[in-house]
Amino acid sequence: MNMQSPTLDKGAADAPFYMPQGSECELFEAAYETNMPLLLKGPTGCGKTRFVSHMAARLGRPLYTVACHDDLSAADLIGRYLLKGGDTVWADGPLTRAVREGAICYLDEVVEARKDVTVVLHPLTDDRRILPIDRTGETLEAAPGFMLVASYNPGYQNILKTLKPSTRQRFLSATFDFPPMDQEVAIVAQESGLESDRCQNLVRLAGKFRALKGQDIEEGVSTRLVIYTATLIAKGMPLEQAIHAAMIEPLSDDEDVQQGLNDIVTAVF
């Protein structure tokens, strides 16, 4: 981390809590300073979104986050003409706003979006840093401070939903995973308010569930779900009930699988 630069530390005190797992903060800063886009790969709920909001606050940049879905089109990102009291007015989408303001634009689960989105991203991710807006005839040059960050989950085994090499190779990339046990315990304790030693058993349980990924369950339990469980327990919910609602039901609909997970709970506690 570069403590010398005043811009980098602006807003640091108010930045949302984020515990680094490696040198991802330094990588983000380097990408920001050199105008390079960044791609974050990793399972759901492992801290990617929190990381981006933490870094945006540290860098003192506004942040536009877009949760991509299969119906999200380029127009949703760029903007569209809207009818307002009989007039047609142009309304910028989140990407255009970020480009104009020099903000950070975070496209969460970018592979979910429609194909026309990648076409828009290409001229923004090379050294031209431009956003052509066909509808208005404008070509915007990204304001200083603009940064594009995208994430995707390579774990979803959907061959149709992966990034094309021509798109991937425009981004610096970093892989995220669930934090090592001690760190995850500290994160869960901090976020939920539950004592560390009680969080420790929940994180141990999460580790056992994650080992089943690809066999009985599609995705391992996320840090987010461990935090939910700990939050419910801290609020006074009995342990088994909290684990069932936040760590078992969200993982599987299958009764046999749920029973298998319950057996692991009994073995851990």
Residue 109 found at the interface with ligand ADP (CB under 6 A): no
- 167-172's contacts with Cβ under 8 Å and 24+ in sequence apart are 167/118, 167/121, 167/122, 168/39, 170/37, 170/121, 170/122, 170/125, 170/126, 171/36, 171/37, 171/38, 171/39, 171/125, 172/27, 172/31, 172/36, 172/37, 172/38, 172/39
The single-letter DSSP state of residue 180 is P
Q: Integer distance in angstroms from the first to the last C-alpha of the chain?
A: 40
The C-alpha atoms of residue 145 and residue 61 are separated, in whole angstroms, by 7
Q: Give the residue at shortest CB distance from ligand ADP.
A: 47
Site string for ligand ADP, 153-172 (x = CB under 6 A): --------------------
Residue 220 found at the interface with ligand ADP (CB under 6 A): no
Between 221 and 261, name the residue whose CB sits nearer to ligand ADP. 221
Residue 44 found at the interface with ligand ADP (CB under 6 A): yes
Q: 110, 227, 230, 242: which one contacts ligand ADP (CB under 6 A)? A: 227
Between 107 and 248, name the residue whose CB sits nearer to ligand ADP. 107
Between 96 and 223, name the residue whose CB sits nearer to ligand ADP. 223
171 backbone dihedrals φ, ψ, rounded to 5°: -115, 145
Residue 225 found at the interface with ligand ADP (CB under 6 A): no
Residue 146 found at the interface with ligand ADP (CB under 6 A): no
Region of 3-11, 13-21, 59-67, 92-100 interacting with ligand ADP (CB under 6 A): 13-21
Give the CA count within 13 Å in the CB-facing half-sphere of 200. 4
Residue 187 found at the interface with ligand ADP (CB under 6 A): yes
The C-alpha atoms of residue 169 and residue 39 are separated, in whole angstroms, by 10
Residue 39 found at the interface with ligand ADP (CB under 6 A): no
Residue 46 found at the interface with ligand ADP (CB under 6 A): yes
| Contact between residue 45 and residue 177 where contact means Cβ atoms under 8 Å apart | no
Residue 244 found at the interface with ligand ADP (CB under 6 A): no
Residue 229 found at the interface with ligand ADP (CB under 6 A): no
Picking from 6, 13, 19, the residue whose alpha carbon sits closest to that of residue 227 is 19
Show the tokens assigned to 264.
């692991």
Picking from 101, 97, 42, the residue whose alpha carbon sits closest to that of residue 66 is 97
Residue 125 found at the interface with ligand ADP (CB under 6 A): no
Question: 20: which residues sit within 8 A by CB, 6+ positions away?
Answer: none
Between 135 and 235, name the residue whose CB sits nearer to ligand ADP. 235
Region of 12-20, 58-66, 165-173, 261-269 interacting with ligand ADP (CB under 6 A): 12-20
Between 49 and 125, name the residue whose CB sits nearer to ligand ADP. 49
Between 76 and 191, name the residue whose CB sits nearer to ligand ADP. 191
Interface with ligand ADP by CB under 6 A: which residues?
17-19, 44-50, 179, 187, 191, 223-224, 227
